[in-house]
Amino acid sequence: MTEHRTDNTHPSGTRNLSKAERIRFIDQRLQALYPNPPVPLDHSDPYTLLVAVLLSAQCTDERVNQVTPALFTLADSAHTMAQVAVDDIRAIIRPCGLSPQKSKAIKRLSEILVEEHNGTVPADMAILETLPGVGHKTASVVMAQAFGVPSFPVDTHIHRLAQRWGLSRGRNVVETERDLKKVFAKERWNDLHLQIIFYGREYCTARGCDGRVCDICRTCYPNRKHPKRVNKP
């Protein structure tokens, strides 16, 4: 009679990790790999970070970092950017894509910061989310990296890895953010956001790993036989 297995143990003796084990391993592994993760977007203050994050929508951080020196030479504060013509902003940021929308957003959010906040970026999530071109993810990055407020910005890359690692079954980035905040300590959120991004770029890419290739995927799920299907955000 064949023995019926009720756990995840493979006949070889290996087994998939439990959720608690996955959380602990992932946390420790990422901290070991990236103990002091830098902010990948070049900036000098909350305003330049806000603009850089806005530009990074559907664009690589590398490309943004190539574009922002010229932009910030032109204007590096809300007061100076508010005086620049939209067409001049657009001419510089065109390589980042979506330049018509992004240039108008940068111009208008700069005007609003001057009109309502004396040119200063407020450390307030709700206010940031009302600014043109600034969604929840952009506001979360600014709160985390400019002001040190615990946040867990989730983009499509983090959403994908959270699914591969069995940390969330979220149908979108909002649900995935909620799930990640539940399983990791609040004081780890800001670094983990960056650590997951760096790991995803280096080891668990969209094409390079399907949930069975990288070290974290193989350690968490040694018995996974098929590519991990990810809920599209």
E strand or H helix at 127, and its extent?
A: helix 125-130
Q: Is residue 11 part of a domain?
A: no
CA–CA gap between residue 155 and residue 141 (Å, rounded): 11
Radius of gyration of the chain, Cα coordinates, nearest whole angstrom:
21
Q: Per-residue pLDDT for 72 more than 80? A: yes
Are 74 and 134 in the same domain? yes
Task: Single out the residue in 125, 147, 169 at which a domain terminates.
Answer: 147
Are 84 and 124 in the same domain? yes
**Cβ atoms < 10 Å from Cβ of 221:** 20
Q: Per-residue pLDDT for 167 more than 50? A: yes
Of all residues in the chain, the percent with pLDDT exceeding 90 is: 89
pLDDT, tens digit (0-9, with 9 covering 90-100), for 97-140: 999 999 999 999 999 999 999 999 999 999 999 999 999 999 99
Q: Which residues are known catalytic residues?
A: 137, 155
Q: Residue 42: its pLDDT value, please?
A: 97
Are 188 and 204 in the same domain? yes
The single-letter code of the amino acid at 21 is E
pLDDT, tens digit (0-9, with 9 covering 90-100), for 8-52: 444 344 889 999 999 999 999 999 999 999 999 999 999 999 999
Bridge-partner residues for 15, per DSSP?
9
Q: Is residue 10 part of a domain?
A: no
**Exposed, middle or buried: residue 109 (CB in 10 Å: 0-12, 13-18, 19+)?**
buried
* Sign of the dihedral through C-alpha 66, 68, 71, 76: negative
Q: For residues 191 and 35, is the Cβ–Cβ distance under 8 A?
A: no
Domain range enclosing 132: 46-147
* Token pair belonging to 133: 């071109």
Q: What is the CATH number of the domain that holds 188?
A: 1.10.1670.10
CA–CA gap between residue 217 and residue 214 (Å, rounded): 5
What is the reported pTM? 0.88
Q: For residues 49 and 39, is the Cβ–Cβ distance under 8 A?
A: yes
Q: Is residue 230 part of a domain?
A: no
